[in-house]
Structure 1
Amino acid sequence: MKLTLGFAAGLAGCAAAAQQAAEVYIFPTDADATSTPPSVSPSLARLVLLQRLAPAGKGPSSADIPEGVDVDTVVELMNKYGGEGVPLFGEHSVSPSQLVIMLEGMTGDQIRELGEGLKTKPAFTITDPPGGSAHDKLVKNDFYNVGITNEHKCSLMEVTNPFEERCWSGRSTVARYNVKKQPDVLSDLARQAESLAKLARSGEMETTFVLLPASGEAKQWSDNSHELRRRQFPAEQIISAHENPSESAAPSSPSDADTIFYASTKSIPSCFQSEDSCATSTGNCSGHGSCRNKYANPDGSESKDACYVCHCLSTVSESGSLTHWAGPTCAKKDISVAFWLFFGFTVVMVGVLSMSIALLFNVGEEKLPGVIGAGVSKSK
């Protein structure tokens, strides 16, 4: 009996050790990828996904780094797999759309076959991945906090179209499919792999595939509770630098104090169909305004045609100086008044200087009056 129990315990230990790891593929592929992809913990994989989905200035913060993990390791991981960084100098290019496809309940053979269909190697693997209930919290809490607020049930064909607005939250979205309930999604994804790779190479849309094995584990993607925490405790960004919000809007509201100001690096449409899409895509107008319907009726009621744009406000700094904001996301300082004052002053000063020089020349060119000998008496 004791031998049987010991043998069973040994088998259970071997099964736990041989648990299938999750694999993560990223389009575009890394040409310098090593033959053996690195293995990361679920907490670090979660940071990579948040970094790829979040707008500039709203990615993971230093408070999200798991305890016992070296910060330099996290930064290196983010730089390699976290997507395109924001340049410190020079003009910002338009960032590609970000699509994350999570395939749950996969077997080892399905993961291997789909990996062969994607015709690339995994970017990295996730050791000891969490179970299904953890994925719900990841999407509803963490992804929601970085702007993925559009819960949808779009098909694979619809979600791979970045112009399908009902499936996207601005320029990012997450799609979840359970392979056990939707087995056809594997063949559909293999057929679309080449077109997704072309979109990634052209810089229009990058796709991240998260292949999750069937697991009964009850643990989470992160040990800490992150529901609404990012809204309450803004912290230092790991990768994306942002300004410290030392200025407050003149007509401030309670939510303004928690807003992280950032300049969007994405192309902003001239009109948004809803107030939520406007606030999500512009970062709530960078904290310097609010989204309003340009075609609203004079009495404040909504009109038939909706066109939500940012209505920029002014901010007052601690020193008392007033700053006006402009641009499609209210991220640019409006210097038109200062420019015209400087331009007008310059024109006036140039005019005064020109008139002074002309007056001096005119005086110098005049002939002297013939009265020099007027006071000299004639000799008799």
Structure 2
Amino acid sequence: MNIMWLENIKIAFRSILSNKMRSLLTMLGIIIGISSVIAIVSIGDSMKGVMDDIYKGIGKNRAVLYVGNVDDFRSTDFFYLDDIELLKERFGDKIEYLGINENLRSDVTIKKNTVKLRMACVDYGYDSVQEVKMLYGRMINKNDVDRKSRVIVLEQNAAVKMFGKENATGMTVRVKIDNSMEDLLVVGVYKEEKSPVLSLLQGQDEYEDSFVPYTMAFSSAYGFYSLDVFVAEKYSVEQSGDEILNFIANLKNRNPENYIFYTVEEDQAQVDSIVGGMSIAVACIAAISLLVGGIGIMNIMLVSVTERTREIGIKKALGARTKDVLFQFLIESATLSAIGGIAGTAFGIGLVMIGGSFISIPIVVNPVSVVAAVVFAMVIGIFFGYYPARKAAKADPIEALRYE
């Protein structure tokens, strides 16, 4: 049996090599189809990996607590500084970080050079839940928050644009906060590292980043629409969210449904679902070319059967059984498809590797999809090669020998 397999594979290769251009054109549909599917699946997996890294940076245990739909809205529905302190006291062991979701913006002019500055209002401990790569000085600490200190931590680019150097610690930045000008002491400079994909998604930003203590920027009478929550890793984000919602509802004399606890995991699941759905849809469209390639294989195998009618007749006259002839042509069509599948796989992988190098993202090639692509190509060859093979196997040896 093994000898017959080997012999049929040799015959298949001889037939393919005897008509190189015709074989290449026949395989072209398979090559294009397989390479398209491999490239699309790899791009989808790579984008999923990139999004996983982005969300990992954002924080898997992160959530946003905000005011939901309230028909009879009142100002007490907002979150106040006192509410934040009560939440910290009640969930001190479960909440790793709790802060406000507020940014201040101001134009900073130094020596006729104007820089647009965005100031993220944070609590102390922010750098324990988010990576902040300090270059000089320090991050916002507990004393800054408790004393409402007029301090600021600049991003590297902001420091360079304002002062012409990275190490701007000890310098003073004059910003506008609540319609009044404030002088803020630079106590640190950090470097923000973004992935190329995240930078591409966010687009060009005219504002430079920085951090300031939230207590310095807002009074106790100011109400916040949303809070930034990091749940301690040893606790369930979902369960902790339910407890926080119930606590807030009782505190505000509302129902838990009037507030939303939206987690990063929920957001990531939605993005993954969209990316996965788009990848599958586009891959299915690309797979249509495999059908075209299969029809091309059927067509060329019919031509091959016609050209080799006399050869078939001789084999059957010498004792070849119907299934032997059928098997020979099925092997030939499967080999033709497999070669196209391997070439298409290599082309598809090469395509995404080149594309990945241009946009600087790590490319993920799933070995399962590669094996599945080659096997599927062989199945296509067998499926579409069956009719020509069966036609050859059923040929009357006498009529075949008369064929010219």
* TM-score for the superposition, normalised by structure 1: 0.23
**Which structure's CA Rg is the greater one?**
2
Q: Which is richer in helix?
A: 2
Q: Which has the higher contact order (CA 8 A, sep 6+)?
A: 2
* TM-score for the superposition, normalised by structure 2: 0.22
